[in-house]
Amino acid sequence: MAEPIKAEIFGSLPGGDVVEAFDLKGPAGLSARVITLGGIVTHLRAPDRRGDAADVVLGFNNLAGYLAPHPYFGAIAGRVAGRISQGRFQLDGREYSLACNDPPNHLHGGDRGFDKRLWNSEPLDRADGAASLRLSRLSADGEEGYPGNLRVSVIYTVTAANELVIETEATTDRPTPVNLTHHSYFNLAGEGSCSVESHQLQVFAGSYAPADAASGLTGRREPVTDNDLRTPKRLGDVIPNLRGRHGDLYFIDRAAPAGLVDVARLVDPASGRAMTVRSTETCVQFYTGVGLDGTLVGKSGRKYGPFAGLCLECEGFPDGVNRPELGNIVLRPGEVSRHTTVYAFSTL
């Protein structure tokens, strides 16, 4: 029988609302801490080949760090994760304008996306005893310029197989674009320890979506070239060949249109930690962490410089409301959007 999941006070927002923290512990050594602000995973501890656990995601020890500007550490990004070109879209004959918070584009839900919102919490009792937490909220009609009252939930579960499972569900009363993702920055050597350039990465994708100089998607699908990661490669060898050393949005290889498939595999040879990513989503955004510039100090007291952590954001095609032929992300009344992403940890 798993230990009951209890809420702890992580801090209070300026208006007085309390931010709770929940610890999800698995019997095989994986554990996660999740807070109700932004659905943020603040800590994720995974064992190495000797059985020693280390925190493998970037972030902060206190609420103040998450209230200050930061690059979406560990958060749920939405209502639409990624960039909507020019911050506008047409839906059923009506044009909508969104905040261009990453000029000239709209990024990760706007000025106050899901990452900056307080979520309701509910620990869950599962038949298998796994530690599980549901976060939910109502994104009201007009929030950040989006149409429709969107009810959304995210379930975090830590399993006996050392998996962090993230399940999302959303319904709406008006047509609206929906594209959620989890935005942890991973470093399998341990956060704050070194750059991820010595990690090996494999991404199961033969095509990608080219981006322009402002990281806006150009609306094309092309075969991978210098960004081909279908065989494992050392990141230090790959990063110089990537556009702006940033990383790309890949279309996940799929034999069937639905179900969990392998998306990526990340390995740290030094610690022996490995992480396999599986998802029901159609795309994955690989981000190298090039924008980290040493101004943020993390949980270990060390500065996060370039490539201190990388992201593997499983999602739909972010600009799908404008380019449905590349992946329609419009949710309509009576429909339910459900997706699952699994971060599975093992050792070499």
Alpha-carbon gap, residue 109 to 98, rounded angstroms: 9
Alpha-carbon gap, residue 249 to 169, rounded angstroms: 23
Q: What angle do CA 72, 77, 80 make, to 5 degrees?
A: 135
**Residues with catalytic roles:** 183, 313
Backbone φ and ψ of 67, nearest 5°: -80, -25
Alpha-carbon gap, residue 32 to 135, rounded angstroms: 15
For 68, residues 6+ apart whose C-beta sits below 8 A from its C-beta are: none
Of 290, 241, 281, 217, whose CA–CA distance to 71 is shortest? 290
Residue at 124: amino acid letter: L
Question: Edge to edge, what strands does the sheet with 249-251 contain?
Answer: 222-223, 207-209, 249-251, 283-287, 311-315
